[in-house]
Amino acid sequence: MKNRIIFLTVAAFLWISVFSISAQPVVVKATIDSTQILIGEQTKIHLEIAANKGQALQIPVISDTLMANVEVLEISKIDTTDIGNNRILLKYDYLVTAFDSALYLLPPFKVISGVDTAYSNELALKVSTLPVDVESKQFYDIKEIIKPKFVLMDYLPIILYILLGLVLAAAIAYIIYRIINKKSLIPFKKEEPYVPPHVRAIRELDAIKIQKLWQQGRMKEYHSDITDTLRKYIESRFEVGAMEMTSGEILDKLRGYSDADISYDNLKQILLLADFVKFAKYNPLPDENELSLMNAYLFVNNTKKEEIPAEVEGDKEKNTDKEEKNKEKI
């Protein structure tokens, strides 16, 4: 029975000790390096917060001023120290200054922990001004006025505005000139000489032949270039929207053109083989690659439409007129 009483007494003592340790309050302490400064001078306020480990704290959040006319220039990082007995000490500093002479009673710093609030001690800061001899009325600049160095970037916006104004003025003058002279606002653009569809197609096929794409393993690109060339040729030669058609639609459309009958099978071979290469990943034999290019040449040459130059047509018309006049004379 006696041992039981001793055990309960010791347990109660330990529980009270632990409870007293865990229940220690938050302690906030503030100190200042100098309580008297001149206008514009700086001093540091040191803040210390003692609390239990793991305790949620809401520390003071100060951005720019502690109070009216007392400015915060810098806030240091928080330094955490373990002080034993499950307690920690948080330290950080505020660098402050003031530009109005007065005696400032700084408000206490407030730290919130749950439903409890702890306050620091109050601080006083006296800000004094320098005595000025107003009787002599002799005031001098601290330093002479220094002319700044020339920096081109400082004048860059002005230069850009001037250039923009000159461009606008030139554009307005040009428009007025064109209107007064009754000329088009867009300068005359020289038209490129007309090239017949079959000539353009042959040139593109020659370029494909020189590139030697299929010899480099670029099968898809090789057959796509050939079919694209033929589609553009068919579109110009037969006035068919071949660029938007499938291979089957092109072949069905050309069945009605007698000019294409002689080379219909050549075109069919080219288009079908190209579809196999592009969509079925078919790898043609060298002879098949060469055959597609050769059939492309045959299709263009067999279906080309020889166009009579305008000068030749004019000469023919003149000759016809002369013949009719001679007949009338006879």
Per-residue pLDDT of the chain (330 residues; tens, 9 = 90+): 444 444 434 444 443 344 444 457 888 899 999 999 999 899 999 999 888 888 888 888 787 888 888 999 999 898 988 888 888 888 999 999 999 889 999 889 888 888 888 888 989 999 998 776 666 666 667 777 888 888 888 888 899 999 999 999 998 988 888 788 766 556 555 567 888 989 999 999 999 999 999 999 999 999 999 999 999 999 988 888 888 999 888 888 888 787 778 888 898 899 999 999 999 889 999 999 899 999 999 999 988 887 655 554 555 555 555 555 554 544
Contacts of 127 (CB under 8 A, 6+ apart): 36, 37, 38, 39, 98, 100, 101, 102, 103, 104
- Compute the distance between CA of residue 238 and CA of residue 47 in angstroms, rounded to an integer: 91
Single out the residue of 208, 211, 225, 210 nearest to residue 278, CA to CA: 225
